[in-house]
């Protein structure tokens, strides 16, 4: 049995965390509050997952995601086993899910395809956490929202400008930012924008919260008066064969000093890391006083602790 820890009033309808919308707005806000408590008092939660064991499945290489999940589990008093390699090659995913559900208390999966996480959750009797797929990076977005709130003291009304590839990170930022009343702008080359259905969902959510969503091909327009400017690599894992072409297409979307100067004077620069310095961002911007990338990286640990507490308490 896990040691009982008094947690904030977070609704317990959460089962698996396959994508951002598996958390309601109230759950999302509660999780951000819990992240603050976890960050302020590590010892308070040191035995919260005592006696619990989690399975980590990693198809992709990882520094921040794997390290922060392993550390989160162990610092909460639990333990984990890690399996690297493709999920579903040796046996059906539905069999893997049902085996792990009989041995462990939660599955954390970093996979190439969203369908892998969805199928694990479909067949698993324990929570499944999306630690990154081709469509979403919800744990990153949780840490990013917490980092922005920590930095600016609020989220509602902030303008977040994302510049670069309309990838999994962009999708999760749109879905989270829309539900928190933020003004989110995404600037990408014409053929590399976020998925239309995700943009549509984010627009509908922002209508309810007083936020706004804009998608454009103009990077300079996107960052005008932004509170935060965010970018990511132009070629994600699995897109290595497109890297050279993407470097040419995305060159106008580099976050450099000139682009960042279009944002507010106190704007923060954000990146989920790892960064390709000299491509999507200059070294000068990444190392500047406006950069909060390592705060984001630290907060992955705290946000993921809060997520595990929410799912497993």
- Catalytic residue list: 110, 137, 140, 232, 272, 300
Whole-angstrom distance, CA of residue 299 vs CA of residue 13 = 24
Q: Which residues does 161 contact at the CB level (< 8 Å), separation at least 6?
A: 184, 185, 186, 187, 222, 223, 226, 228, 229, 230, 263
Q: Work out the number of other CB atoms within 10 angstroms of the CB of residue 130.
A: 28
Question: How many residues are present in the chain?
Answer: 313
Token pair of 251 as six digits: 């060159």
Residue 229 pairs in a beta bridge with: 161, 269
Whole-angstrom distance, CA of residue 214 vs CA of residue 238 = 28
Whole-angstrom distance, CA of residue 161 vs CA of residue 282 = 17
Q: Which runs of E-coded beta strand occur in the chain?
A: 53-58, 79-84, 106-110, 128-130, 159-163, 183-187, 212-216, 228-231, 268-271
φ/ψ of residue 16, rounded to 5: -95, 165
Radius of gyration from C-alpha coordinates of the chain: 19
């Amino acid at each position: 049995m896990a040691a009982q820890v008094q947690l904030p009033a977070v609704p317990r309808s959460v089962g698996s965390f396959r994508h951002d919308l598996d958390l309601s707005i109230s759950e999302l806000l509660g999780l951000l509050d819990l992240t603050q408590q976890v960050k302020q008092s590590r010892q308070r939660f040191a035995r919260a997952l005592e006696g619990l064991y989690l399975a980590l499945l990693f198809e992709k290489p990882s520094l921040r995601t794997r390290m922060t999940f392993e550390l989160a589990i162990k610092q909460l008093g639990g333990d984990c086993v890690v399996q690297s390699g493709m999920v579903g090659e040796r046996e059906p995913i539905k069999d893997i899910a049902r085996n792990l559900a009989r041995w462990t208390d939660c599955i954390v999966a970093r996979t190439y395809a969203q369908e892998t996480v969805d199928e694990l959750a479909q067949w698993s009797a324990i929570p499944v956490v999306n630690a990154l797929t081709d469509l979403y990076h919800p744990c990153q977005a949780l840490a990013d929202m917490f980092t922005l709130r920590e930095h600016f003291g609020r989220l509602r009304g902030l303008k977040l400008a994302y510049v670069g590839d309309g990838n999994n990170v962009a999708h999760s930022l749109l879905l989270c930012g829309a539900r928190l009343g933020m003004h989110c702008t995404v600037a990408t080359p014409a053929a590399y924008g976020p998925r239309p259905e995700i943009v549509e969902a984010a627009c509908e959510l922002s209508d309810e919260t007083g936020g706004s969503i804009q998608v454009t091909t103009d990077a300079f327009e996107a960052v005008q008066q932004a509170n935060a400017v965010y970018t990511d690599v132009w070629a994600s894992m699995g897109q290595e064969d497109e890297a050279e072409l993407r470097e040419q297409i995305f060159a106008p979307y580099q976050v450099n000093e000139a682009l960042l100067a279009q944002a507010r004077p106190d704007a923060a620069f954000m990146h989920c890391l790892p960064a390709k310095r000299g491509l999507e961002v200059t070294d000068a911007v990444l190392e500047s006083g406006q950069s909060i990338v390592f705060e984001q990286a630290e907060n992955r640990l705290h946000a993921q602790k809060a997520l595990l507490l929410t799912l497993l308490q």
